[in-house]
Amino acid sequence: MTTFCQNAPWRQTKIIATLGPATPDLASIQALHKAGADVFRLNFSHGSHDEMRQRLQAVRAVEQQCGRPIAVLADLQGPKLRIGTFAGDQAVLEAGQTFVLDLDTARAGDAQRVALPHPEIFAALRPGAQLLLDDGRLRLRVIACDTQHAITRVETGGVLRNRKGVNVPDVPLPISALTDKDRADLHFALELGVDWVALSFVQRAQDITELRALVEGRASIVAKLEKPAAIEALEEIIAATDAVMVARGDLGVELPAEQVPSLQRRIVRACRQSGKPVIIATQMLESMVAAPVPTRAEASDVATAIYEGADAVMLSAESAAGRYPVEAVQMMRRIIAHCESDPNWRDALAATQSAPTATVADAIGLASRHAISLLGAAATAAFTSSGYAAIRASRERPAAPIIGLTPRLATARRLALVWGVHPVVTPELAVGTRIEQLSQVAERHALAAGFAKPGDCIVISAGVPFGTPGTTNLLKITRLAEAASDAPAQN
């Protein structure tokens, strides 16, 4: 895979499209990629392993046709906490009444009690804690509790149906973010060859450490932040993970809605400071599940993520189960393109730019950004084995595209998620490649990608000796030779 083709006019922010019943086959995935999707998400909360295999094979077929690396993100379901069942399949809870939760799954529930078959919740509960049922539609407050029961007062009532979800926002739960299902799904996803694995309901950095031990370097890790406990451990989680997803669905259930926008901004800034890719997800163009155009508020929501400098924005039901999956990706692409053409967009990025760390890689990235700005360079060519150099270059949010040149297909695929990085597999590179050869490769790919033309400057970053991860120590500025027809005549 040595060619490089763009699926849309150049843009820095990436698009993640979730695959599902609305986009199950090669033709639909081709259409999504052509519309602008850079990464495809396999949601292991829905669908069988056979369906996941078929979707991934279709993505790889599109990748071969286009010649451009495409990332696949496996999103693990995580622990789903649910109540039991009711006689008659539902009960009506009135505000102010007492309602009991217990471990007795043998009895059907009624308007006074229901089973909650999760002893780990009772082990963590305390009086005053809040329980949210059915995505927060019903709210309970714990009056008294032990390891077997919880007596609650209904604060917000309504109809409660069988097996609705339970959120416990006030207390960290002593449970692993990986269930037995997740472990089986993880093994299957890694065997398939996914590039990123997203861990749901992360509460602490140890959750990432546990997953990393199982992944064994076969994929990069995304920490999904959707619980208050994760916000309290934000810096430690960012340090432990490879990327972060602001999963606003459950986050918006467990925290007041008015807090989510400021938390989103805080998470994005923390990730940018650390140089970790950050994804904004959930309900970005939700109305396009059923309508061919989004609301103006949704378009503004996507634009906010772009102005904040998020690496990627994600479509969930819009592309997985909606009536207009291709149109949703096209709309996302158009919003990104419009924002990135706004002169104020770069001012907004600069205003949130944080100081680099005192490392050689960051010194190279900072110098590269300044060189691009001063010289009007057309592109940066970042030679990288592990992807680290391209990611650190992306942290600086330079004003020109970053061509991530790597001999490793796995690295190129992972870089498809990263802001401003256009990955290219360069199998001609080998350990010990000389600087002159690196320049030739960089110039050729800058021209092939359409990012530069003869006479333009490009900035090259690499590690010498080439092929050793973490050795970025070279910055070179080169001007592409003018076309032969433009050269002065020789006497």
| Residue 7: band (very low, low, confident or very high) from pLDDT cuts 50, 70, 90 | very low
- The H or E element containing residue 57 is helix 49-66
53 is catalytic: no
153 is catalytic: no
Whole-angstrom distance, CA of residue 185 vs CA of residue 42: 11
Give 336-405 as a DSSP string: HHHHHTSHHHHHHHHHTPPPPPSSHHHHHHHHHHHHHHHHT-SEEEEE-SSSHHHHHHHHT--SS-EEEE
278 with 285: CB under 8 angstroms? no
Above pLDDT 70, what percent of the chain? Answer: 94
377-389 pLDDT, tens digit each: 999 999 998 999 9
At the topology level, CATH places domain 14-78+177-351 in TIM Barrel (3.20.20)
Residues of the chain with CATH 3.20.20.60: 14-78+177-351
Q: Per-residue pLDDT averaged across 334-350, rounded?
A: 93
Beta bridge partners of 278: 244
Cα angle 63, 67, 72 (rounded to 5 degrees) comes to: 30
312 with 39: CB under 8 angstroms? yes
Kindly report whether the peptide bond that precedes residue 401 is cis, defined as omega within 30 degrees of 0: no
Q: Give me the CATH code for the 360-486 domain, please.
A: 3.40.1380.20
Q: Closest Cα partner for 427 from 125, 126, 96, 69?
A: 69
User: What pTM does this model have?
Assistant: 0.91
41 is catalytic: yes
Residues of the chain with CATH 3.40.1380.20: 360-486
| Residue 6: band (very low, low, confident or very high) from pLDDT cuts 50, 70, 90 | very low
- Catalytic member of 82, 161, 218, 269: 82
421-432 pLDDT, tens digit each: 999 998 876 656
Residues of the chain with CATH 2.40.33.10: 90-167
| Residue 468: band (very low, low, confident or very high) from pLDDT cuts 50, 70, 90 | low
pLDDT at residue 4 greater than cutoff 90: no
Residue that is written with structure tokens 């416990």 in the block? 168
pLDDT at residue 342 greater than cutoff 70: yes
357 is catalytic: no
Q: Per-residue pLDDT averaged across 436-450, rounded?
A: 90
pLDDT value, residue 167: 92
Cα angle 482, 483, 489 (rounded to 5 degrees) comes to: 90
- The H or E element containing residue 159 is strand 158-161
- Catalytic member of 11, 14, 41, 212: 41
Q: Report the SS3 class of residue 100.
A: strand
| Residue 469: band (very low, low, confident or very high) from pLDDT cuts 50, 70, 90 | low
| Residue 489: band (very low, low, confident or very high) from pLDDT cuts 50, 70, 90 | very low
pLDDT at residue 487 greater than cutoff 70: no
240 with 211: CB under 8 angstroms? no
- Catalytic member of 13, 241, 282, 380: 282
90-167 domain in CATH 3.30.565.10? no
| Residue 359: band (very low, low, confident or very high) from pLDDT cuts 50, 70, 90 | confident
207-244 pLDDT, tens digit each: 999 999 999 999 999 999 999 999 999 999 999 999 99
